Amino acid sequence: METKTHIALVTVPVYSHLRSILEFTKRLVHLNQNIHVTCINPTFGSSICNNVKSLFESLPSNINYMFLPPINLEDLPKDIHPALKVEATLHRSIPSIYDVLNTLHSSSKLVAVISDGLINEVLRLTKKLDILAYSYFPSTTMLLSLCLHSSNLDKTISSANKDLLEPLEIPGCIPINSTDLPDPMLDRSSEGYKIFLEANDRFYLADGIMINSFLALEETTIRALQEKEDEGIPSIYPIGPFVQNVSCDNGSDLEYLQFLDKQEKKSVLYVSFGSGGTLFSEQIIELAFGLELSGQNFLWVLRPPNKHGVIDDLDSGEYEDEILYNFLPNGFLERTKGKGLVVPYWAPQIEILGHSSIGGFLTHCGWNSTLESVVNGIPIIAWPLFAEQKMNAVLLSDGLKVAIRPKVNENGIVEREEIAKVVKNLMVGEEGKEIHQRMEKLKGNAIDALKENGSSTMTLTHLALKLESLGSHLGT
């Protein structure tokens, strides 16, 4: 019987990360069907929610999966930031992950372990087993360059990052203001910053890092890292874009489809802050008035306000739709009826972005959403909320020039007049037309990267052949 090349995959309990790494895994086994994958999934809470179950139930037969026993987080504060809850879950899952990896390796001789970049402590565990260790990096090469160079950058910075007057020079990247750095870097005296540096140093344990990006999108940064492989930088594999290739088979009776079908081509602004992003109450009010003032058509996915700017993306909604609408200005739904539609909590983003009436995307700049916009050629209004999203916004607006970024006032609010101006500029202004042309070119580049002889497909094919060769060697 033919020997299968067995690989273990370690995920993190964040829906956006799960979507990305599972799409990568499906692509890997599609390109080389002699590869068999076992997904190991840390969990928290008492049950696995339906949207996560659907991700795993759609996997092909050569991808198995298991959910680790839920981590008990009852000792944590009730209002803890969701990111800290994930961090605690991952840290407490390490012993269980190691036990599973050890068992799998003993029984079937694992060739390699691929772990999400958020849980790169698995790289250290994998080295103990003396097998190949890879990291799957679901964000930009720009962020990866920052991570790989963060210790060196730390040594060259004498003041707190948030007080830097000069833009920070990250190898291979456009300069970035200190205020646009990821959250842990904004206070060099914090424990979070120390943890950030330590985690980044672990990337050097990897035999390779796979990035959900493609050559034409970030060529300068990718080349800069690849040229430093002789200096200890792990091998870099740009293999994206990975975008979930599904749509909702619910017919044309859905309200959002009826609304979109009535609109002219490229006339609707889609407004969504990802699988978990949201705004605080005052900003929701300003956004509503800004959309109304712009006079443009819009489809807005609304979530309840939250002080952290994020709700748990693996939980369901806590408000009834009617109560959720109470966070909007009085009379807003009536005044915008016909021109705008508000959808509570969730909408099938991939299907919406692919609709012919969508002409712009107001997004939090999460990397999944960004790539979904790119592959559909949709211009962007960049509205970052947390994590590395401000860096993504810089790449989109200043680097690739496919986005407009609204100005924030001294109180951290984007005012309604600014919102209306930016929306009109993107949807019907001259700058918007130029952005659309550049985004259409990126769309073509993304399609080309995934063709049979495209840069991403060739890169992943060569990596899969390498893993298969090692698997065959183990099987002899």
What residues are annotated to the active site? Answer: 17, 116
Report the alpha-carbon distance of residue 138 to residue 150 in Å, rounded: 18
HEC string of the chain? CCCCEEEEEECCCCHHHHHHHHHHHHHHHHHCCCEEEEEEECCECCCCCHHHHHHHHCCCCCEEEEECCCECCCCCCCCCCHHHHHHHHHHHHHHHHHHHHHHHHHHHCCCEEEEEHHHCHHHHHHHHCCCEEEEEECCCHHHHHHHHHHHHHHHHCCCCHHHCCCCECCCCCCCECHHHCCHHHHCCCCHHHHHHHHHHHHHHHCCEEEECCCCCCCHHHHHHHHCCHHHCCCEEEECCCCCCCCCCCCCCCCHHHHHHHCCCCCCEEEEECCCCECCCHHHHHHHHHHHHHHCCEEEEEECCCCCCCECCCCCCCCCCHHHHHHHCCCCHHHHCECCEEEEECCCCHHHHHCCCCEEEEEECCCHHHHHHHHHHCCCEEECCCCCCHHHHHHHHHHHCCCEECCCCCCCCCCCHHHHHHHHHHHHHCHHHHHHHHHHHHHHHHHHHHCCCCCHHHHHHHHHHHHHHHHHHHHHC
Question: Six-digit token pair at 72?
Answer: 């008990």
Contact 205, 127 (CB under 8 A): yes
338: how many CB neighbours lie within 10 A of its CB?
Answer: 10
